[in-house]
Structure 1
Amino acid sequence: MNFRVSSLLFCLMLAAQPLTAAQVPSPKKNEIKKSQIELPAEPEKYELIRVMVQKPSPSLEVGTNSPYELLDQNDQLLFRGDRIVSTRVTPAPEGIRFGRQTFKTRSLRLSIQEGEIVVGRRKYYHVLDILKNDQGLLKAVSELSMEEYLKGVLPVEASPSWPMESLRAHAIVSRTYALFNILEKEGLPYDVAADVSSQVYGGLGTHDPRTDAAVDDTAGQVLTYQKKIFPAYFHSTCGGATTRADQVWTLEKHPCLMGVKCDFCKGSRHYRWDGVFTLKQIEARLKKNGFNAVGVKGLSAQGRDASGRVLSFGIDTARGEKKISSNGLRMFLGPSHFKSTLITEIQKTDGGYRFRGKGWGHGVGFCQYGAKKLAELGYSHRQILDFYYPNAGITRLYPGRKAERGL
C-alpha cells in the first residue's frame, strides 16, 4: 500500500474525534409496518441510494485503481493517494485501522473521481463508506445513483435475454422497492442490502445492454397508489397465484398487494418442487436462528390463505407446541430448498418430512416467470404491472436520462 500522508493531514487524523452513532429505536415485536409512504416533495433528493455491500464483519479488504481520498465521519480529509493496493481494514478500540494507520473515527469514506473501488472480489462505484457498529464490526456501504444501482440489479435478478417489456416492468418494480426502502429507512446508515434480503446488486461488471436499456427507458418511474409509494415486492415463481403481503409479513393490508390468480409461470423450472428434511435438521436450523425448539418431534401445517399457502406451522417439541410463521420456517430451513409456502403435500418419512410444493419465493407481488410469459404473449410493461399490482399507477419522479457513473 502506497500512502502519501502530509504532516498536516496526519495532524487532522489525530484530531479527529469519535462521533456517537444516532440511536434508532428497534421496531417492537409484532409491530405492524406501514405499507405505503407519501411521495417525497423533492424527489431529486432521492436519486442516490446507499447499498450495504458487506455485512458486519471483523475485517474488510478494499482497494482502488485510481487516485482516492479518505475522509472521516465529519467529512474531514485524512489523506489522499494515487491508488490503494488491496488493503485490510479492521476495527480498533479507538476507531478504525486502515492498513497501518488507525483513525479515531466510527466511519471512513473512501472516495474516487473515476475508476473502481474493490471490496473483496467485487467492484463498485465512486463512494464507499466503512462503518463501525456497536459490536465492533465493520460494514461497507456503497453510495451511487439510483439508476446505476438498478443497472447492477436487473441483470442479476432477471435474465437479460428475457422480453424487453418484462424487463421494463421489472425496472419499475425494482426502483419502487428501492425508493420505498430509502424513505422507510431514512436516518439509518444504509437503505438496502446487496443480497436477497433486499434485492441482489452485483456491482460493476454485471451490466448488460438490454437491462441497461430497460432502466433508461423507465428512468425515474415508480409504482404509486393515491400518490403514495408502496413496497413493490417480487419473486421468481408464484406457482399459480400470488398472495397478500399482510399474510406473509406484519404489514398493513394494501390494495395493490392483495394477490391475483396467475396461470403464466408454468414454464418455470421452479413451478413444482420437493424437499426432504430430518427432524434433527429442522431442530438445528430453528435453534441456529434463535427459535426456542428443544426436542422437535414433528410439525403440522396450520391454516391456509386464499392462494393455498400455509399460514403457519405448529412445531411439536419436548416443551410443548411452538408456532412459527410459514415464511419464517421457509427462511430458517433455506429458501433454496424449502422454496415456497404453497405446500401441496407433507409426507412423514423415517425421521423427518418430505414437502412438495409449487413456486419459488414469498409469492407477493410481481411473479418474474409470469411476467416473462405475459410479455411473450404481447402484454406491455404497463399491462404487466396492472396485472400484478391492481389499482396501482405509475409516477415519474425525475426526468428520464441515461445514468452517469458516480452521479
Structure 2
Amino acid sequence: MTKIRIVMAGLLIAAAFVVLAGRRCDAALSVDTIRVAIVKNAPGVTVDGNGLLALRENGAAVALNPPVAVKAGRDDVLVDGVPYRRLVFSAASAVSINGKRYRGVAEIRFNDKGLLVVNELPLEDYLVGLINCEISSAWPIEAIKAQAVIARTYAVNRRESRRDALYHLESSVIDQVYNGCEIEDNRARRGVSETAGEVLTYNGAIIQAFYHSNCGGKTEAAENVWGMSIPYLKGVDCQYCRLSPSSAWDQKLSLRDLEERLKAAGYKATGLIDIRAGARNSSGRLKDVIAVTRRGEVAVPGNQFRKAIGYGIIKSTNFTVKVVNGDAIFSGLGNGHGVGLCQWGAKQRALEGFSYAEILSYYYPGTELKKLSDIR
C-alpha cells in the first residue's frame, strides 16, 4: 500500500469513528460498538500504527509523529509536554497500544490514578479477537459458536448496565479476556459470523451470561457465589469436563504465605497455625474456609478465600486441604466460579455431536436464542 493510500485509509477510519470520540455507544448507532478498557492507571503508553491519526476532544486533528509517547499529567494527557483532555487514535488497519494491535479506535484520557485507554470497536470484531483468549479456535466449531453467543450476550448485558460509564467492559478475567486482534483467525471469525447478532434471553430479556473454564462435575448456582437467585443459573450436572487437563489441581503453600495473603485482604490471620475446610453447599463447593490462629478461628467465605489467596492459585472452591510440616496442601476440582457455561464441558459436548444451541440450552435452562435486532 502506498503512503498516500495509507494516509487516506487512516482519514476514512477517523471519519467513520469521529462520532465515537464524544459519545457513548448505544443501539441507535449505525455500527454496533462496544467500549473496552484495555489499560488502566498507567503512567504512560505508546501508540503506533500505519496512517496513525489523532483527534483531540473537540474533534480537531492533531499532527503527531508515530510512535507517540502519551504520558499522564495531573488531570490530563501529555504528548511532548502539550496537554490534552482526551485523544482518540485511529489507523489504517489497527491501532497499536504498547505493542498490541486493536481494531477500531483507542481513546486515551486521565482517570483516577493515571491513563485510561478505551478501545471502541464493532461488537462483532471484539468477539473475533476474544475467542482465542477465552478458548481455542482449534476446538469444535459448535463450541466456538457457543462461546461467541455467550460472549456477545455478556458484553451486551454489560453495555446496557454500564451505559453511562467510561467503558462497558474490562479486558481481563474481571469481565472477558481480550487482547486485541493479534490472535484472530478464520475459525474464530466463522464462529462469530455464523451466530451473528445472536444472544441468549430469558422472558425476553438479555441474560447475565456468566461462564467459566471448568466446573469439575457440576456447575454452581448463582446464589452460592453472589447471593442472588437467577432462574437460568441454578447449576446442572456436568461430567463432560472431567477429562480435561484443568479438571483436577493441586497446590501447596506455606502457612506463612497464607497468613500474609489473608492479612493483606483484611482478615485477622496473625499467628496462623492451621487451615481447615468448612461447610459445603449442595454442589460440593466450600461455603467457607476456617483459618485457625493462636487467638482463635476465622471463617473466610469460600469465594473470598479464593480472591485473597489468588484465583490462579486456588482455582475453585471445590477442594480439600491438609497441613503437613507447616505447608497447606490443597487438592481441588474445577477452575473458576462454576456459574453458567463450563467451557471444557461445552467442548466435549460439541465433540459428541451437540449443536451450539443444544449446548447453550443445557447450561442455561429456560433461555432462548434471539437476534439483537428482534429485541431492540
Note whether the superposition's TM-score is higher than 0.5: yes
Correspondent of 1:253 among 222, 229, 234: 229
Deviations 1:278-331 (A, max 9, x none): 111112222334445433333332221211001122323456443322122113
Which whole-Å CA distance do the structure 2 matches of 1:340 and 1:394 have between them?
29
Q: Which of 234, 246, 251 is matched with 1:270 structurally?
A: 246
Alignment match of 1:69 (pick from 54, 58, 63)? 54
Q: Aligned with 2:339: secondary structure?
A: coil
Deviation at 1:212, TM superposition (A): 0.7
| SS of residue matched to 2:178 | coil
**SS of the counterpart of 1:214?**
helix
Q: Does 1:314 align with 2:290?
A: yes
Question: Which residue identity lines up with residue 101 of structure 1 in the other structure?
Answer: V
Query: Is 1:223 paired with 2:200?
Result: yes
Q: Give unmatched runs, 5+ long, in structure 2.
A: 1-24
- Return the alpha-carbon distance in structure 2 between the equivalents of residues 333 and 92 of structure 1: 34
Give me the identity figure in percent. 33
1:59 shift after superposition: 1.8
> Displacement, 1:78?
5.6
Matched-pair contact (CA < 8 Å) for 2:75–2:110? no
- Which has the larger share of helix? 2
Partner-residue secondary structure (3-state), 2:272: coil
Q: Which of 150, 175, 183 is the matching residue for 1:173?
A: 150
1:44 and 1:397 in contact (8 A); partners too: no
* Cα distance change, pair 224–274 in 1 and its aligned pair in 2 (3 A): same
**Per-residue deviation, residues 198-250 of structure 1 (Å, max 9, x unmatched):** 11112022111111100001111111100112221111111110011121124
RMSD (CA atoms): 2.2
Distance 2:283 2:195 in 1: 31
1:53 and 2:38 equivalent? yes
User: TM-score scaled to structure 1, two decimals?
Assistant: 0.81
1:80 aligns with 2:72: no
Q: How big is the shift at 1:70?
A: 2.4
SS of residue in 1 equivalent to 2:279: strand
Question: How many Å separate the matches in 1 of 2:278 and 2:244?
Answer: 28
Q: 2:346 aligns with which of 345, 366, 371?
A: 371
Unaligned runs of 5+ in 1: 1-39, 400-407
Query: Greater CA deviation, 234-243 or 51-60?
Result: 51-60
Residue 124 (structure 2) pairs with residue 147 (structure 1): yes
Once the 2 structures are TM-superposed, how far is the Cα of residue 374 of structure 1 from its aligned partner?
0.7
Contact 2:49 2:91 in 1 (8 A): no
Partner of 2:190: 213
Shift of residue 102, structure 1, vs aligned partner: 2.2
What's 2:315 paired with?
339
SS of structure 2 residue aligned to 1:304: coil
- Between the aligned partners of 1:288 and 1:123, the Cα distance in structure 2 is 35
Following the alignment from structure 2 to structure 1, what is the Cα–Cα distance between the partners of residues 368 and 172? 28
Native 8 Å contact 1:43 1:397 kept in 2: no
- From 198, 201, 204, the equivalent of 2:181 is 204
Say which of 304, 326, 348 aligns to 1:351.
326
1:29-83 deviation line (CA, Å, top 9, x unaligned):
xxxxxxxxxxx995767821111111212222222321402212xx3426135x5
Normalising by structure 2, report the TM-score.
0.87
Q: Distance in 1 between matches of 2:29 and 2:108?
A: 25
Say whether 1:125 aligns with 2:87: no
Matched position secondary structure for 1:169:
helix
The 1-side partners of 2:355 and 2:314 are apart by 33
C-alpha separation in 1, matches of 2:134 and 2:26 = 30
Aligned to 1:98: 79
Q: How many residues align?
A: 350
Distance 1:290 1:189, change over 3 A: farther
CA distance in 2, matches of 1:222, 1:388: 14
